[in-house]
Amino acid sequence: MRLLRSTAVIGSLTLVSRLLGLVRDILIARFLGAGVVSDAFFTAFKLPNVFRRMFAEGAFNAAFVPLYAKRIEQDGEAAADGFASEAAAALFFVVALLVIGFELTMPWTLNIIGYGLGKTPNAAGITPYDLAVLYAWLTMPYLLFMSMTALFSGVLNTRNHFAVAAAVPIVLNVMMIGTLWAVGSLAWSQRLIGLALSAAIAASGALQMILVVWACRKAGVKFGLRRPRFTTGVRRLLILGVPGIISAGITQINLLVSHVIATTQESAASWLTYADRLYQLPLGIIGIAMGVALLPTLSRAIRAGDDAGAKMSLNHGIEISLFLTLPAAVALYVIPDFLISGIYQRGAFTPDTTAQVAKALRWFALGLPAFVLLKVLTPAFFARENTRTPMIWAGISAAINLSLGFALFKTIGFHGLALATSIAAWVNVLGLAILLLRSGDMVLGVKLRRTLPRMALASAIMGVGLSWVQMRLPDLGDLNILMDFIWLGAVVGGGFVLYVIAATLLRAYDPADIGRAFSRSVKTP
């Protein structure tokens, strides 16, 4: 049950971060709405985020964590820390070159993601593409800081010190909220607000890196930034990491192309971004927290020859994730307009914007369980130093996403991009699951097979209840913000209570498991 305890620590801190992120997005929606400035800002912020996921959080850590765990098991902590220093030097060198290259060529390379942005001044005298270039110059250093943060977070997670690594994303949201509060009170223009937010993003990255380095020192990790060398450890890291980078690259390039398509329709990129933010809330709390906790757990079990323990952990991961994800997906699908209007609809965020964002959110909701399951299934490959298989399936998923995205964008509109993303995610999940089942690395236990249909039924009961309640509620966004959030809290809380009651009556979970899981605390630095 260590997995559930670890996930709870990560998930709780991630919940704080995501709730603050929601506050941040509410303020962004209020001051920027959905238009040329928000399109430029979201494009500039997406650029370092995309490459961060390629070179750091996803690909690099997928290769680094199992190797670091193996060094601890076989050679001890000192040797593992030496390997971490070698890896940090290599990562810093590569990512620093990438950041410098982008900074020098930004007026041209931003076309990678912002090709559809207007290149002539609009009626307000704003050139969207040039504005995105200016913002991107400021946000790009965030990539370097967050790449190093991801590596040191991987060190902490492998040593079962989850708290600080899970808490540092809070820094980004606090700094952006503080910036929005400050510039909002000064009545700055939207262009200047975007500029201030871009600078805050880069500054938050530096602070996050400092915090995880401090946490590593406090946890007794001994490392130093060395001259990059092509050592045996770095060579092995590259062998495992390159397929992961390609895999993450395929996925991220896929998302980039979707964003480029969206930029060809004014405000569509912003609509998709706001919808993405909402479904990322449960994804971050559940899926990412589970994936972070699961990879070192599986790696340690496999290194110790405990295959039964690894399979059991994977089953626990699937069960916990779906128990929390299925009701979230149903709620996002059934009441998207209610949620969006209550959260965002004020200031520059109009009722028409709510209607457009809701179209995308409903399709993203269909894919939410798949997005979460990907975070659970891929560690089963990475822990066995197999980064090639996820790469292949990421490629298949990307091809489906792109072809469907183009077709659906032309037929049903921008929200077809969200539907294509969800369909592609389910294809990816089914492919990975079938391979794990065939290899025997995953066996669906009796308990999991018994509880899954019951979780689905409990979620459906909750969905019917939410739908009935929504038809009898006032339109949010027309009320004051306090009343909006009271109604939101009442409906969301009521839906959760209904789900728990239904799940309890259907015996979709074992309350004794939760008691055992939290009988001991997780180590924190």
Q: Say what the pLDDT of residue 523 is.
A: 39
Chain-wide mean pLDDT for the chain?
A: 82
Q: Bigger pLDDT: 97 or 59?
A: 97
- Residue 102 CB coordination number (10 Å): 20
CA distance 485 to 488: 5
pLDDT tens digit string along 419-475?
998 999 899 999 999 999 998 888 888 888 898 999 999 999 999 999 998 888 777
**Interhelix angle for 232-263 vs 388-411, to 10°?**
10
Q: Say what the pLDDT of residue 200 is.
A: 95
By mean pLDDT, which of 105-119, 319-333, 413-427, 452-466 is the weakest?
Answer: 105-119
- pLDDT average, residue stretch 69-90: 82
- pLDDT average, residue stretch 364-375: 89
Q: Say what the pLDDT of residue 292 is.
A: 58
Placement of tokens 């000192």 in the chain: 78
- Residue 184 CB coordination number (10 Å): 14
Two tokens at 74? 């076989």
Please determine, for residue 521, whether its predicted confidence score (pLDDT) is greater than 70. no
Q: Say what the pLDDT of residue 519 is.
A: 43
Please determine, for residue 160, whether its predicted confidence score (pLDDT) is greater than 60. yes
Residue 408 pLDDT class (50, 70, 90 cuts):
very high
Residue 318 pLDDT class (50, 70, 90 cuts):
confident
Two tokens at 291? 């994936």
Residue 6 pLDDT class (50, 70, 90 cuts):
low
pLDDT tens digit string along 121-156?
776 677 888 899 999 999 999 999 988 888 888 888
Residue 229 gets the label, from left (phi > 0), alpha (psi -120 to 50) or beta, of beta
Phi and psi angles of residue 14, each rounded to the nearest 5 degrees, phi first: -65, -35
Nearest Cα to Cα of residue 279 among 8, 4, 18: 18
The full length of the chain comes to 525
Q: Say what the pLDDT of residue 205 is.
A: 92
CA distance 60 to 53: 9
Nearest Cα to Cα of residue 313 among 189, 441, 460, 163: 441
Please determine, for residue 518, whether its predicted confidence score (pLDDT) is greater than 50. no
Give residue 26's identity as a one-letter amino acid code.
Answer: I
Nearest Cα to Cα of residue 383 among 296, 506, 290, 480: 296
By mean pLDDT, which of 65-69, 176-180, 218-222, 390-394 is the weakest?
Answer: 65-69
